[in-house]
C-alpha cells in the first residue's frame, strides 16, 4: 500500500527499501563500473545505512546531505525497468529520510 512516502510506511519499510535500492544500485555499478551516477548512489545508500544502523536517528544535517532523490529525478527521469524501479525507491527513500517521521 502506497502512503505519503511511496512504499515506505514505517522504519521497517524504510530499511527494506534501502536494502532493495542498494542491491539494485550495486548491481548497476558492477555492470557500469565507470558510471559516476551509480557510484554516487551506492555511496549515499551506504552512508544512509551507517547513519540509521541499530535504530539510530540521523541528525538534521545528515538528512540534508542525502540527494538520491535529486539524482534520480535528474538522471532517471524517463527510465523504465530496473532504473525506473530504482528511481521510485530513491524518491521514497529520499523523502522519508529528509523528514524522518516517527512510526506513530
pLDDT at 18 over 90: yes
Q: In 3D, which of 101, 49, 44 has the Cα closest to residue 69?
A: 44
The answer to whether the beta carbons of residues 88 and 68 sit under 8 Å apart is: no
44: left (phi over 0), alpha (psi -120 to 50) or beta: alpha
Ranges of each domain in the chain: 11-99
The answer to whether the beta carbons of residues 81 and 57 sit under 8 Å apart is: no
pLDDT at 6 over 80: yes
Residues 43-65: pLDDT tens digits?
999 999 999 999 999 999 999 99
Q: Tell me, what's the pLDDT at 2?
A: 64
Q: What is the average pLDDT across 68-74?
A: 93
Measured between alpha carbons, how far is 93 from 20 in angstroms, rounded to an integer? Answer: 11
Amino acid at each position: 500500500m502506497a502512503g505519503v512516502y511511496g512504499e515506505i510506511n514505517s522504519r521497517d519499510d524504510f530499511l527494506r527499501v534501502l536494502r532493495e535500492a542498494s542491491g539494485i544500485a550495486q548491481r548497476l555499478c558492477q555492470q557500469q563500473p565507470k558510471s559516476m551516477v551509480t557510484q554516487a548512489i551506492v555511496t549515499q545508500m551506504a552512508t544512509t545505512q551507517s547513519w540509521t544502523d541499530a535504530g539510530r536517528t540521523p541528525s538534521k544535517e545528515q538528512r540534508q546531505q542525502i540527494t538520491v532523490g535529486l539524482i534520480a529525478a535528474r538522471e532517471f527521469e524517463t527510465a523504465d525497468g530496473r532504473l525506473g524501479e530504482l528511481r521510485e525507491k530513491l524518491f521514497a527513500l529520499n523523502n522519508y529520510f529528509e523528514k524522518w517521521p516517527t512510526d506513530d
